[in-house]
Amino acid sequence: MNINKLRQDFPFFQKTLNRKPIIYFDNACQSLRPQSVIDAVVNYYQDYPACGGRSMHRLAAKVTQKCDEARSIIARFVGAKRKEEIIFTRNTTEGINLVAHSLGLQKGDIVVTSDKEHNSNLIPWQILAKKIGIIHKIIPSREENIFGLEGFKKVMNEEVKLVSLGFTSNLDGVTIPASEIIKIAHQFGVLVLLDVAQTAPHHKIDVTALDVDFLAFSGHKMLGPSGTGVLYGKYHLLEKLEPFLVGGDTVVSSTYDSHKLLPPPEKFEAGLQDYAGIIGLGEAVRYLEKVGFENITEQEHTLNKFISNEIVNIPHLHIIGPEDPSKRGGIVSFYIEGVDSHQVALMLDESANIMVRSGQHCVHSWFASKKIAGSVRASLYFYNTQEEAEIFVNQLKKVIRVL
Amino acid sequence: MFCLLALIVLSILGIFSATHRQLAKEAFDCVFRRITFRPCTTGFKEKMKAKLTGKILNRSPFVARFLNRHFELVSWVFFILMVASTFWTVKGAYNFYLYGSCNGLNETGFCAFDPSGENNKVSQIATSCSLEKPSEKDLTLNGVDLSIFPIRNPDAKDKIIFIGCYGCDYTRKAYPLIQKLIANNEVSFIFAHFPVKDETNFLSEYGYCAYKQDQERFWQFNDALFASDKQNLGNKNYVDGLASKIGYNLTTIDRCIDSQETKEAVERQFQEISKTHVYGTPTVFINGKVLVGPKPYRVYERALKGWRFW
């Protein structure tokens, strides 16, 4: 993979701040976009800015066709059996909420999550527990934040209705043994929902091989436009789900006192959609496939290994998650005893244009339980370079010496 | 302390920049919490501390470390400096309003409101060598016989003594303002000509003779000289033309100028002016207060009327 050539596809890398290049290490929050994705979005607004799936004129037909193409591309991307299993959402959070509110959970139903879920996979269950009385069970992680498979096995039984887990953690980059978890869950007839927001941009996912029931991810973390997301669901399950958001373009017909819903995916895509975003997301997937996941993971691991080795021995600095960087994907999340993580992030930004995330990364529950105020998170992607990693390490050491 | 300091500085910057306006709002929120006895939990101080330290880090890690460790102390120092500079700025503005100079009456230091120092400039009078710089403090009317100079409205309570030179730029700038002051107020006005330019030396004798011939017409003549192009003032024919137009008898004036009595009278006038220790023109005494250089009108008015000028 020629990184310098790939970087030319990203107009962002031509930008500078105070005449210095910008080092973007906040990819777990949102990735950068290649020109082809930007062009796809701009072309929609410039050339055929019409409604899809409604009007009959030629512009509308083109929008429908382009969105349909995007759906097919994404279905192929995740290994879905049919494109109707792909529902467009605004983000992963919306996908998880859709399942949570459409699954028909009853009082006493058990939902299982891990102890380091993003708020998007925690709050919906807490609210349902309060509203209708579901039971929310949390699996504690093992040492080094590894998924507690033994604890999971102990919790599983026929009363569990759903296992909802983050495939790759945005906190520390640790990926769970999803295939094994799904097998165990299915032995008890339990459905599995995976949050793959931090997986889909970095690893090949095959929903058919995994046999996962639902899967949600965001477009903006994988080169796509912001405000785009996908929920995958097995078709026969989607047919049974009651949509929690209904209205325009979700019904075949309606009378004053009745309506007939369209089949999936339309029944879940209420109202006018983000056509530009959907088309852009299709283009982003095309681009990712062109780069190749082997190249992506190799570059991320190389950089993660370099950064981890350089900072691991800094006194009072703790890397969250496994010591082995290859188990943390593209994420290096760390905290320094007695130092405010925001201060480190702001100083990296102000002194060297290095953009990293600081705070609790929407995993407040984990930080609260460990009594850690927050961490600095450098999240890498295939377009980040060794030179950037070196600048980051040197500048971080400089910052720490000052604090 | 930092939040208060930031609020003041960012509020000023916020007038020109939306980014700073947002930061000013955050600073205000922090200050408001503190004055309502609540903790400032917005993280504003920490954010600004990190930003400032980050900015300095590449230039000087030592300074960055010092700032990080002693941020509150540095904030206090800057706060005190800000209060002091605000005091001096207000004092400067006050002085400028009252005296036309930020540094006080007749002081010539730099003033932001009058950067070229126009309000204190004078046409220097060539005096004998002296080690000490002439000072406004030495200017006085004590022992000066003012009765030998042209006077107008001698019975008025308020008194203005104007020492000036017909051909000098700064006198010509101040003269119309003093005339406006006289026109608007009941004032006794004495004019003493002290020629700084050699080519206008003869105007002292000319003026003496004009005043001697007709006191009322003298003031018209005086005004006409100041209204004339200064290039013409060295030309006696031009001055004769002005005097003639006003109604003076030129033969009488010429005779007067040539007389020994006039020469002695003018010489006496110079001697009396010297007693004031004047070092430049214009120098204006208004009820005993000395104003050196062409001041703004408000300064003359306040010197005459005190706080009544409001």
* Nearest residue in B to A18, CA atom: B55
Q: Out of A29, A51, A67, A362, pick the active-site residue.
A: A362
Q: Give yes or no: residues B143 and B222 share one domain.
A: yes
Q: Give yes or no: residues B165 and B271 share one domain.
A: yes
Indicate the SS3 state at residue B162: strand
Range of the domain at B68: 2-99
Which positions in chain A touch B61 (Cβ < 8 Å)? 398, 401-402
Q: How many CB atoms lie within 10 A of CB B299?
A: 24
Q: Where are the alpha helices (DSSP H) in B185-235?
A: 202-213, 215-227
Please judge whether A401 and B68 are an interchain contact, meaning their C-beta atoms are less than 8 angstroms apart: no
Q: Which of B53, B84, B99 represents a domain boundary (last residue)?
A: B99
Q: Give yes or no: residues B228 and B260 share one domain.
A: yes
Cβ-Cβ contacts under 8 Å between A and B: the total is 48
- B residues 55..114 contacting A (CB < 8 A): 55, 57-58, 61, 64-65, 68
Q: What burial class does residue A5 get, using C-beta atoms within 10 Å of its C-beta: 0-12 exposed, 13-18 middle, 19+ buried?
A: exposed
Q: Give yes or no: residues B191 and B287 share one domain.
A: yes
Interface of A with B (CB under 8 A): 340, 342-352, 398-399, 401-403
Q: Give yes or no: residues B73 and B161 share one domain.
A: no
Q: Give yes or no: residues B179 and B256 share one domain.
A: yes
Q: Give yes or no: residues B164 and B61 share one domain.
A: no
Q: How confident is residue B63, by pLDDT bands cut at 50, 70 and 90?
A: very high
Q: Is B207 a domain residue?
A: yes
- Alpha carbons B227 and B172: distance in angstroms, whole number: 8
Q: Give yes or no: residues B251 and B153 share one domain.
A: yes
Count: domains in chain B: 2
Q: Which pLDDT score is estimated for B309?
A: 56
Q: Is B83 a domain residue?
A: yes
Q: Which pLDDT score is estimated for A95?
A: 98
Q: Give yes or no: residues B127 and B82 share one domain.
A: no
B56 to chain A, minimum CA–CA distance in Å? 7
| Number of residues written out for chain A | 403
pLDDT at B308 over 80: no
Residue range B163-211, pLDDT digits in tens: 999 999 999 999 999 999 999 999 999 999 998 878 889 999 999 999 9
Please judge whether B54 and A340 are an interchain contact, meaning their C-beta atoms are less than 8 angstroms apart: no
Q: Is B105 a domain residue?
A: no
Mean pLDDT of B58-63: 92
Mean pLDDT of A289-296: 97
Cis amide bond preceding A225, omega within 30? no
B133 to chain A, minimum CA–CA distance in Å? 51
> Which has more pLDDT, B11 or B244?
B244
A29 carries an active-site annotation: no
Q: Give yes or no: residues B132 and B95 share one domain.
A: no
Please judge whether A401 and B65 are an interchain contact, meaning their C-beta atoms are less than 8 angstroms apart: yes
| Nearest CB to A342; choose among B47, B52, B64 | B47
B37 to chain A, minimum CA–CA distance in Å? 24
Q: What is the CATH number of the domain that holds B179?
A: 3.40.30.10
pLDDT at B40 over 80: no
Residue range A190-213, pLDDT digits in tens: 999 999 999 999 999 999 999 999
B170 to chain A, minimum CA–CA distance in Å? 49
Q: How confident is residue B39, by pLDDT bands cut at 50, 70 and 90?
A: confident
Query: Are A310 and A374 in contact, with CB atoms under 8 Å apart?
Result: no
Q: How confident is residue B6, by pLDDT bands cut at 50, 70 and 90?
A: confident
- How does DSSP assign B4-15, residue by residue? HHHHHHHHHHHT
Residue range A261-274, pLDDT digits in tens: 999 999 999 999 99
Q: 3-state SS of chain A?
A: CCHHHHHCCCHHHHCEECCEECEECECCCCCCCCHHHHHHHHHHHHHCCCCCCCCCCHHHHHHHHHHHHHHHHHHHHHCCCCHHHEEEECCHHHHHHHHHHHCCCCCCCEEEEECCCCHHHCHHHHHHHHHCCCEEEEECCCHHHCCCHHHHHHHCCCCEEEEEEECECCCCCCECCHHHHHHHHHHCCCEEEEECCCCCCCCCCCHHHHCCCEEEEECCCCCCCCCCEEEEECHHHHHHCCCCCCCCCCEEEECCCCEEECCCCHHHCCCCCCHHHHHHHHHHHHHHHHHCHHHHHHHHHHHHHHHHHHHCCCCCEEECCCCCHHHCCCEEEEEECCCCHHHHHHHHHHHHCEECEEECCCCHHHHHHHCCCCEEEEECCCCCCHHHHHHHHHHHHHHHHHC
Percent of chain A clearing pLDDT 90 (strictly above): 96
Q: Is B114 a domain residue?
A: no
Q: Is B112 a domain residue?
A: no
Residue A219: CA count within 13 A, CB half-sphere: 30
Please judge whether B54 and A342 are an interchain contact, meaning their C-beta atoms are less than 8 angstroms apart: no
Q: Please give the mean pLDDT across all residues of chain A.
A: 96
User: Is the ipTM reported for this complex over the cut 0.85?
Assistant: no
Q: Give yes or no: residues B83 and B137 share one domain.
A: no
Q: Is B25 a domain residue?
A: yes
Mean pLDDT of B250-279: 94
* Nearest residue in A to B69, CA atom: A403
Q: Is B45 a domain residue?
A: yes
Q: How confident is residue A389, by pLDDT bands cut at 50, 70 and 90?
A: very high
The number of angstroms, rounded, from the C-alpha of A142 to the middle of its chain's C-alpha atoms is 23
Q: Is B108 a domain residue?
A: no
Q: Which pLDDT score is estimated for A344?
A: 96
CATH numbers and ranges of domains, chain A? 3-30+292-402 (3.90.1150.10), 37-290 (3.40.640.10)
Q: Which pLDDT score is estimated for B307?
A: 67
Mean pLDDT of A69-91: 98
Q: Give yes or no: residues B95 and B128 share one domain.
A: no
